[in-house]
């Protein structure tokens, strides 16, 4: 378990350093574009939602709601 936590911390640190370097070299707009690109990635959302019950949809807060349309299972 501790190995997983250490690995997770390392990945977060590497990603954060990439954003810091991107900000330093290209500015805030480049960081925003990189984050928006990550949020459009289907693999990111599959990983984020893999342990959540989304049978009836999913939302994080009342401010932002993600709507889904599922096919009928008739």
pLDDT at 9: 57
Question: Could you tell me the residue ranges of all domains in the chain?
Answer: 2-66
* CA pair distance 17, 33, nearest whole angstrom: 16
Where the chain has pLDDT below 70, the residues are 1-16, 62, 64-67, 72-74
- Quote the longest CA-to-CA distance of the chain: 54
pLDDT for the residue 72: 66
pLDDT at residue 74, rounded to an integer:
61
Which pLDDT score is estimated for 8?
56
Give the model's pLDDT for residue 23. Answer: 82
Residue 19 has a pLDDT of 78
């Amino acid at each position: 378990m501790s190995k997983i936590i250490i690995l997770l911390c390392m990945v977060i640190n590497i990603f954060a350093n990439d954003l810091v370097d991107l900000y330093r070299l290209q500015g805030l707009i480049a960081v925003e574009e990189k984050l928006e690109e990550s949020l459009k990635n289907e693999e990111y959302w599959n990983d984020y939602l893999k342990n959540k019950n989304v049978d009836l949809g999913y939302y994080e807060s009342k401010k932002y709601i993600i709507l889904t349309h599922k096919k009928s299972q008739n």
